[in-house]
């Protein structure tokens, strides 16, 4: 089969779109990718990429067409981000027409974190070639921009909502990364017959080589790894760390970058948490297996201000399970549901840092052997549900059949 993958984010950026393209190519599919010039998350074009360099590439058997998009910008302001979204949508739409005329595809797949507008070029090609469109929803619009930017303009939100409904209407199947996305999408129309649960996956962390990592503090390490942004509810994390300041054995380690990283560093200074809270900055993905292995607990946190945030299951949860590490979480909804099903740790309310502190003091530290065993439970759950191999087989079955059921 010949597949076109449409997404703003692709190699050398680190997204699941990479796995989709490269794994399908390994399975004998002919895969093209319609993507923007890479600039996430730094906000500037990656070295070696520009308007005049590497606009087309072939990597691991995948043909890549890089359309012009303005960089997000270092501060990723509303204006720069909007321009980034719109420039990709417009330029990729012209490319979609070109590809529709000169190439033939059997289906088109949209990898859809924010923004949903990246599905428009895919719809254009679908309409011209009359082929199935599969949209993998990783973010719910317009909810995510309301929570992320605070936009309240009813005219703008109504227009975006119409785009969302248009995309869902045009999608032959809507793949959802969290089961709790179902009600949020059905609220916009009768899409129950289109919905298919298709979760994130993780590399097998236990099979990856152990790379050198920065020296970590000695003690019981509670680690959060990944983006350190507003959605990660780091206020509650730091409140928990402050409440446990007297537990000098407990070390909180934050590995990653994001909009709240500077705030965390300032909080550490302001409350003199130098002995118990540590930030490592951004580390390569290859460092994650060793980093996870060196931790005693992996921390998962999300805000719960809006239903769509509660419903999200961050990909880092799958990687925690793959690494066989027990989980401590301040989450609700989709992630809490998985943690409970997997019996891989403890989850409390998104803002309830006092409950988290109580669990650490009364359940985790006094019975570390039992807590460590929860990591093994998580590993078994990963092997049953979240391996890359099983998820790719599921995707292939979806795109090879228009009659697959949920």
- Which of 101-110, 125-134, 394-403 is the least confident region? 394-403
Asked if the model's pLDDT at residue 406 lies above 50, the reply is no
Domains of the chain: total:
2
- Mean pLDDT along residues 364-378: 97
Asked if residue 250 and residue 146 are part of one domain, the reply reads: no
- pLDDT tens across 272-306, in order? 999 999 999 888 888 999 999 999 999 999 887 77
9 domain residue, yes or no: yes
Instruction: Report pTM.
Output: 0.88
Asked if residue 190 and residue 90 are part of one domain, the reply reads: yes
206 domain residue, yes or no: no
- Mean pLDDT along residues 160-177: 96
Asked if residue 232 and residue 184 are part of one domain, the reply reads: no
Asked if residue 148 and residue 196 are part of one domain, the reply reads: yes
Asked if the model's pLDDT at residue 142 lies above 90, the reply is no
pLDDT of amino acid 153: 74
**DSSP letter (8 states) at residue 53:** B
Mean of per-residue pLDDT scores for the chain: 92
The beta-strand segments (E) located in 124-206 are 133-137, 173-176, 195-197
- Mean pLDDT along residues 152-176: 92
Rounded distance between C-alpha atoms, residue 79 and residue 75, angstroms: 10
Asked if residue 247 and residue 171 are part of one domain, the reply reads: no
pLDDT of amino acid 405: 42
- Mean pLDDT along residues 103-124: 96
Nearest CA among 293, 309, 133, 117 for reference residue 212: 293
pLDDT of amino acid 150: 61
* C-alpha atoms less than 13 angstroms from C-alpha of 16 in its C-beta half-sphere: 26
Rounded distance between C-alpha atoms, residue 362 and residue 356, angstroms: 10
- Mean pLDDT along residues 353-379: 97
- 147 pLDDT band, cuts 50/70/90, is low
- Mean pLDDT along residues 91-115: 97
Asked if the model's pLDDT at residue 321 lies above 90, the reply is yes
211 domain residue, yes or no: no
Asked if residue 77 and residue 155 are part of one domain, the reply reads: yes
Asked if residue 341 and residue 230 are part of one domain, the reply reads: yes
Asked if residue 242 and residue 196 are part of one domain, the reply reads: no
Asked if residue 258 and residue 290 are part of one domain, the reply reads: yes
- pLDDT tens across 17-48, in order? 999 999 999 999 999 999 999 998 888 999 99
- Give the dihedral of Cα atoms 95, 97, 103, 108; nearest 10 deg: 80
DSSP H or E stretch at residue 33? strand 30-36
Question: Is 103 buried (19+), middle (13-18) or exposed (0-12) by CB count in 10 A?
Answer: middle
pLDDT of amino acid 49: 94
300 domain residue, yes or no: yes
214 domain residue, yes or no: no
Asked if residue 259 and residue 157 are part of one domain, the reply reads: no
Say if CB 355 and CB 349 are below 8 A apart: yes
Asked if residue 87 and residue 175 are part of one domain, the reply reads: yes
How many Å from the N-terminal Cα to the C-terminal Cα in the chain?
23
Q: Which structural domain, as residue segments, surrounds residue 379?
A: 220-385
Rounded distance between C-alpha atoms, residue 383 and residue 101, angstroms: 42
CATH number for the domain harbouring residue 174 = 3.40.50.2000
% of the chain at pLDDT higher than 70: 97
Asked if residue 226 and residue 189 are part of one domain, the reply reads: no
């Amino acid at each position: 089969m010949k597949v076109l993958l449409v997404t703003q984010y692709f190699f050398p950026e680190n997204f699941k779109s990479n796995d989709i393209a490269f794994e399908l190519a390994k399975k004998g599919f002919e895969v093209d990718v319609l993507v923007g010039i890479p600039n996430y998350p730094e906000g500037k074009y990656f070295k070696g990429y520009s308007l005049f360099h590497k606009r087309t590439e072939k990597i691991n058997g995948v043909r890549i067409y890089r359309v012009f998009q303005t960089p997000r910008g270092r501060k990723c302001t509303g204006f720069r981000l909007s321009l980034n979204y719109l420039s990709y949508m417009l330029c990729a739409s012209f490319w979609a027409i070109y590809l529709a005329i000169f190439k033939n595809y059997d289906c088109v797949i949209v990898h859809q974190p924010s923004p949903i507008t990246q599905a428009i070029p895919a719809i254009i090609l679908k309409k011209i070639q009359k082929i199935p469109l599969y949209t993998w929803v990783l973010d719910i619009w317009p909810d995510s921009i309301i929570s992320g930017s605070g936009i309240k303009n009813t005219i703008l939100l109504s227009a975006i909502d119409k785009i969302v409904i248009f995309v869902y209407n045009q999608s032959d199947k809507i793949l959802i990364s969290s089961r709790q996305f179902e009600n949020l999408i059905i609220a916009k129309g009768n899409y129950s017959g289109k919905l298919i649960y298709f979760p994130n996956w993780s590399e097998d962390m236990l099979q990856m080589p152990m790379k050198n990592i920065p020296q970590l503090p000695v003690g019981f390490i509670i680690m959060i790894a990944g983006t350190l942004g507003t959605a990660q509810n780091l206020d509650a994390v730091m409140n928990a760390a402050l409440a446990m300041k007297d537990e000098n054995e407990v070390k909180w380690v934050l590995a990653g970058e994001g909009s709240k990283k500077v705030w965390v560093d300032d909080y550490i200074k302001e409350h003199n948490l130098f002995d118990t809270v540590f930030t490592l900055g951004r580390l390569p993905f290859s460092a994650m297996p060793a980093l996870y292995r060196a931790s005693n607990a992996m921390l998962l946190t999300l805000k719960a201000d809006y239903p769509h945030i509660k419903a999200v299951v961050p990909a880092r949860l799958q990687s925690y399970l793959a690494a066989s590490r027990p989980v401590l979480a301040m989450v609700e909804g989709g992630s809490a549901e998985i943690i409970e099903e997997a019996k891989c740790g403890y989850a409390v309310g998104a803002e309830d840092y006092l409950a988290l502190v109580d669990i650490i003091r009364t359940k985790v530290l006094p019975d570390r052997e039992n807590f460590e065993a929860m990591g093994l439970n998580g590993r078994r759950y990963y092997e049953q549900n979240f391996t890359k191999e099983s998820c790719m087989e599921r995707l292939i079955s979806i795109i090879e059949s228009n009659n697959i059921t949920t």
